[in-house]
Amino acid sequence: MGESGFTLIEALAAIFISAALVAVFAASFRVGLDSFRKGSSAVEMESEKRFVVKALDSGIGSAVPFRERYGDDAALVFRGGAANLSLETACGEVEPITCGGTKLVAFDSTARGLIVSAMTLPPAPGSAPAITSVYGEVEDLSFEYLGGNSWRGDWDAAAESALPEAVRARVSFRDGQKTVFTILLRASIRARAVDEGADKGTNE
C-alpha cells in the first residue's frame, strides 16, 4: 500500500528552490531600488544645477546702477573678482529673495559651495549681509566681465563709472560636469540703447 506525501528529499528540494527564488527576487528588488535612487539623485542634481544657473542669471542680470555714498561723494556699487561678486539688484528678481526696494547681493565661491548673501538698502546701522542660500553642489565658480570689446578678470564700477555689459560665469559641479554661460546686464543694455538713440538724434 503506497503512502501519500513528500519525502524528506522532496521537501528539502522544495525549500532550496523557494530560497533560490526568494534570493533572485531580493537581488532584483535591490537592483531596481538602486537604479531608482540613482535616477532620482540624477534628476534632483539636474534640477539643482538649473536652479543655480537661474539664480546667477536673474541675480546678476538684474543689477542696477545704485550709488553708494562716501561722505559727499557717491560711487556705483558693482565689485567683481574672479570668484566673488557683489552688486545692487532690484528686489523680486533674485530668487528666493523677496522684498520691496533694493538689495545688496553677494555671490561667493567657497569650499562650502556657492554662497549667496543679501542685505536690504539702505542698510540699518550695524547691519551686514546675511546668507540666504548655500548651493553645496557647486564645486567651483569663476567670473569674467565684459567691458568694451574685451573680457576682464575683475570689475569695479566705482572706478569704471559704469556697470559691465555682461558677466560670464563658469560653474563646476561636484558630479564633474561644467557649464559656461553669459549673463547680459539689463541695466547696461538699456543704457546702451539710450546712448545709441542720443547719438542718432545728434547725427540727424
Which of the two residues, 23 and 5, has the higher pLDDT score? 23
Which of 140, 22, 16, 156 is CA-nearest to residue 86?
Answer: 156
C-alpha Rg value of the chain to the nearest Å: 29
Percent share of the chain, pLDDT over 70: 74
Q: How confident is the model at residue 144 (pLDDT cuts 50, 70, 90)?
A: very high
CA-to-CA distance for 63 and 135, rounded, in angstroms? Answer: 21
Measure the CA dihedral 152/154/156/157, to 10°.
40
What average pLDDT score do residues 26-32 get?
Answer: 74
Q: Examine the pLDDT at 5 and tell me if it is beyond 80.
A: no
Arithmetic mean of pLDDT, 186-198: 64
pLDDT tens string 65-115: 877 665 555 567 899 999 999 998 875 444 444 445 678 899 999 999 999
Mean per-residue pLDDT, 185-199: 65
**How many residues belong to the chain?**
204
Residue 71 has a pLDDT of 54
Give all strands (DSSP E) within 26-165, no chain letters.
67-70, 73-76, 78-80, 84-90, 102-110, 113-121, 130-135, 138-147, 150-152, 155-156
> For residues 94 and 118, what is the distance between their CA atoms, to the nearest angstrom?
10
How far, in Å, CA of 196 to CA of 167, rounded?
21
Confidence class of residue 161 from pLDDT cuts 50, 70 and 90? confident
- Residue 199 burial (10 A CB sphere; 0-12, 13-18, 19+): exposed
Q: So what's the pLDDT on residue 187? A: 81
Residue-level pLDDT at 104 = 87
What is d(CA 64, CA 66) in angstroms, rounded to the nearest whole number? 6
